[in-house]
Amino acid sequence: MSLRHRLFAAMYDTLSASLERRELAPRRARLLSALDGTVVDVGAGTGANLRHFRHADRVILVEPDPYMRARLRARLWESPVPVEVSDADAEHLPLPDGAADTVVFTLVLCSVPDQRLALMEARRVLKPGGTLAMLEHVRGQGRAARWQDRLDGLWGRCVAPGCHINRNTVASIGEAGFDFTEVSRLEAPAVALATPIIAGTAVKRSER
């Protein structure tokens, strides 16, 4: 991991504090508080989701970045439910087929190396009819999308390591075998080009 990753992990909570307080935390609460059974939180980062898991039997926190993971471990006490930490990545989840009730992605599908593989891996570990819960910034439309295309590389190098601002995540979720059951959209000009943000759920489509 590079110095950029270490610095980003150290600064992440401070940089996101205002947006987290005003917009993201209430959406995390609505998205996560009712989840039960076995939950997999992919790209758990520094632990922003921890206090919002209220009814899960077990939460597996997947975080491959060692700097993020160190900060995550320091906050495990915030979780009101049993949690365990894994250093696996989104493309190789540490569960057998059909073992999870819900897979959670919050502000991580922008930065996984292979978004399609990460979504297919989520589908693999979910039970039939299992739920995908997401809070993600996605590709905009029109002029905004064109600017995202132009500045995507610069953003990932200089603002948020590995982050892509022009991924069509909504389409990718459908292509990976999920049907949306609920989705809301938030325009967040405070985060410049990393907007809009979607929050919602999708269900694992049955195989025919």
Q: Convert the pLDDT of each residue in 111-140 to its tens digit.
A: 999 999 999 999 999 999 999 999 999 998
Domains present along the chain, CATH in parentheses? 3-204 (3.40.50.150)
- Per-residue pLDDT, averaged over 187-200, amounts to 80
Higher pLDDT, 196 or 189: 196
Mean pLDDT of the chain: 92
Number of H helices, E strands in the chain: 6, 7
The verdict on pTM exceeding 0.75 is yes
pLDDT score of 63 more than 80 = yes
pLDDT given for residue 7 in this prediction: 84
Structure confidence by residue, pLDDT tens digits, 77-98: 999 999 999 999 999 999 999 9
Cis status of the peptide bond prior to 82, with omega within 30 of 0: no
pLDDT confidence of residue 1: 53
Report whether 101 contacts 130 (CB < 8 A).
yes
Q: Quick check: helix, strand or coil at residue 82?
A: coil
The string of pLDDT tens digits covering residues 160-191 is 888 999 999 999 999 999 999 999 988 876 56
Q: How many other CB atoms are found less than 10 A from the CB of residue 26?
A: 13
What is the pLDDT, as a whole number, of residue 169? Answer: 96
In this predicted structure, the answer to whether residue 208 has a pLDDT above a threshold of 80 is: no
Model confidence pLDDT, tens digit, residues 7-59? 887 787 787 888 889 889 999 999 999 999 999 999 999 999 999 999 999 99
Over residues 29-39, the pLDDT tens digits come to 999 999 999 99
* The predicted structure's pLDDT at residue 189: 67
Percentage helix, strand, coil for the chain under 3-state DSSP, each rounded to 5: 40, 25, 35
Give the separation between CA 3 and CA 161, rounded to whole angstroms.
Answer: 10
Neighbours of 143 (CB within 10 A): 8
Distance CA 9, CA 145 (A): 27
pLDDT value at residue 128: 94
CA end-to-end span of the chain: 42
